[in-house]
Amino acid sequence: MGASSSRARASASSSAGRSKPPPPPCSSSGVAVFTSRGHHLFEIRNHSRIKSMTPNGRCIRSSSFMAGGHRWYLRYFPNGERADATDYASVFLNADIDGYPPKSVKAYFLLRLVDKISNDLMDPPPDDEVRGAAVYEFSSGQNSLGYYGFCKKDELERSGRIVEDVLTIRCDVGVVDMYTTDKTDAAAAVASFVYVPPTDLGHHLGALLSSTVGADVTFQVGTRRFVAHRCVLAARSPVFEAELYGPMEERNTERVIQIYDMEPEVFEALLDFIYTD
């Protein structure tokens, strides 16, 4: 029994002295989809006049805007884009792609009619709607995508979305990029990634101007009145700063400031530039 016990102790000692085999080789990688978002409000003023002057197949276009690091513009066909869509208004998003070699960009887009007076649908689309949006590839050969039958013209007239003969289309764009990380930094990249959205301060301030929330100064320009925010005007213009906060400041918030020698449309464009740059 003593010999058997000694052999058992020797065997255990020998096993303890051997190191464990190294783990099998292992690698890892990660894939992440990053989305850079932005939106644009396309205001179509004097909609009834534009509709009567723009035949089927002809369009008006928005100014170019940046979203997701790329330049875009909208095309609106008030009487349809093609002959079989004369009962509809058509809307298309165009990617402003140029240069050589030809480039492409993957993006989703959402088009909605909004009401700037009541602020209806001015907020970003809900997350489930964004997640369900199809992603398309825009390229120099296919730089335009949209809807031939965006909205029936008679339904549009009855919808209440044309307010004071102004139709506003909101376009949300999300540019999608996919990245793959190798084994050395996959975990850190995926775990530490924080999405920083592109700046849209101008859009927020523009919405603030349109909503008139918190407005504390009123201007009379010709036959039209405009309301704005003293702090925004003062921060953006030394002339307004001197008038609103300087020695000759207009302290009475109830008083209407008269603006002479300027057309209302010009003053409106000036305010829009001050708020949205």
Condensed to tens digits (0 to 9), the pLDDT of residues 181-229 reads 555 444 454 455 555 666 778 778 888 888 888 888 999 999 899 999 9
The pairing of beta strand 217-221 with beta strand 256-259: parallel
Question: CA–CA separation, 174 vs 28, rounded Å?
Answer: 29
Residues of the chain with CATH 2.60.210.10: 30-196
Residue 10 is predicted with a pLDDT of: 46
First to last CA, the chain: 95
pTM for this prediction: 0.56
**Domain 207-276 maps to which CATH number in 3.90.1310.10, 2.100.10.30, 3.30.710.10, 3.30.390.50?**
3.30.710.10
Listed in order, the ranges of the chain carrying CATH 3.30.710.10 are 207-276
pLDDT band at 127 (very low <50, low <70, confident <90, very high): confident
Mean of pLDDT values over 28-51:
86
> Which run of H or of E encompasses 11?
helix 2-17
- Give the pLDDT band (50/70/90) at residue 48: very high
Rounded Cα distance, 193 and 259, in Å: 50
Q: What is the pLDDT of residue 56?
A: 96
Helix (H) or strand (E) holding 61: strand 60-61
Alpha helices per DSSP H over 18-45: none
Residues 65-89: pLDDT tens digits? Answer: 888 888 899 999 999 999 999 999 9
Predicted local distance difference test score (pLDDT) of residue 13? 47
CATH of domain 30-196: 2.60.210.10
